[in-house]
Amino acid sequence: MGRVLITGMSGVGKSTVVEGIAQRGIVAVDTDYGDWKSADGTWDLEAVGRLLRENDDIVVAGTVENQGMLYDMFDHVVLLTAPPSVLIERVTSRRTNPYGSSAAEREEILEYTHTVEPLLRATATEVIETTQPLETTVDEIVDLLAVPRRFT
């Protein structure tokens, strides 16, 4: 049993991976959707904390400023990563999330690959490159549910 956080830049594939995990019958929550965030865009710590306490096996996806406050509730923190050109291609072509459709937002994503992603990498227990097939990424994350806690 385990609790896994998947995090990373916009366009890395968090939402797509969550869908793949959910299709396998595992509880998987994308915190970009639903009532998981406060008005300032950070996690509602009470709501996300309750979600984690109520589920022994769960994968949660999100990248928010205060996510580190709940790291102690996760067994693994997985950084999904991809080259900046791939991120831009994905956010430009996706239809489920408008973020990244403007030039300013794409520039912001590129900036975050230099400023935010290194911080996420420093606290991740695993790093997974998402240019590999989706099923491979999903398999790697599902396998982590059975691996003892690596986050301290």
Q: Which domain holds residue 127?
A: 3-144
Q: What is the pLDDT of residues 96-124, one digit of tens each?
A: 777 777 888 888 888 999 999 999 999 99
Domain count, the chain: 1
Exposure string for 78-101, b = 16+ CB within 10 A, e = fewer: bbbbbebebbbebbeebeeeeebe
pLDDT value of position 101: 76
Can you tell me the mean pLDDT for 77-97?
A: 89
**How many Å apart are CA 128 and CA 22, to the nearest integer?**
18
pLDDT value of position 23: 97
Residue 152 lies in a domain: no
Q: State the pTM of this model.
A: 0.92
Residue 149 lies in a domain: no
Residue 106 lies in a domain: yes
**How many Å apart are CA 100 and CA 89, to the nearest integer?**
10
pLDDT value of position 13: 93
Residue 60 lies in a domain: yes
Q: What is the pLDDT of residues 5-47, one digit of tens each?
A: 999 999 999 999 999 999 999 999 999 999 999 999 999 999 9
Which SS3 state, helix, strand or coil, does residue 14 take? helix
Residue 62 lies in a domain: yes
Q: What is the pLDDT of residues 63-75, one digit of tens each?
A: 999 999 999 999 9
Report residue 128's pLDDT band, with 50, 70 and 90 as the boundaries.
very high
pLDDT value of position 152: 53
pLDDT value of position 64: 95
Residue 150 lies in a domain: no
Contacts of 62 (CB under 8 A, 6+ apart): 5, 7, 14, 30, 31, 32, 36, 43
Residue 34 lies in a domain: yes
pLDDT value of position 94: 77
Say if residue 141's pLDDT is above 60: yes
**How many Å apart are CA 51 and CA 45, to the nearest integer?**
10
User: Residue 101 maps to which CATH number?
Assistant: 3.40.50.300
Residue 111 lies in a domain: yes
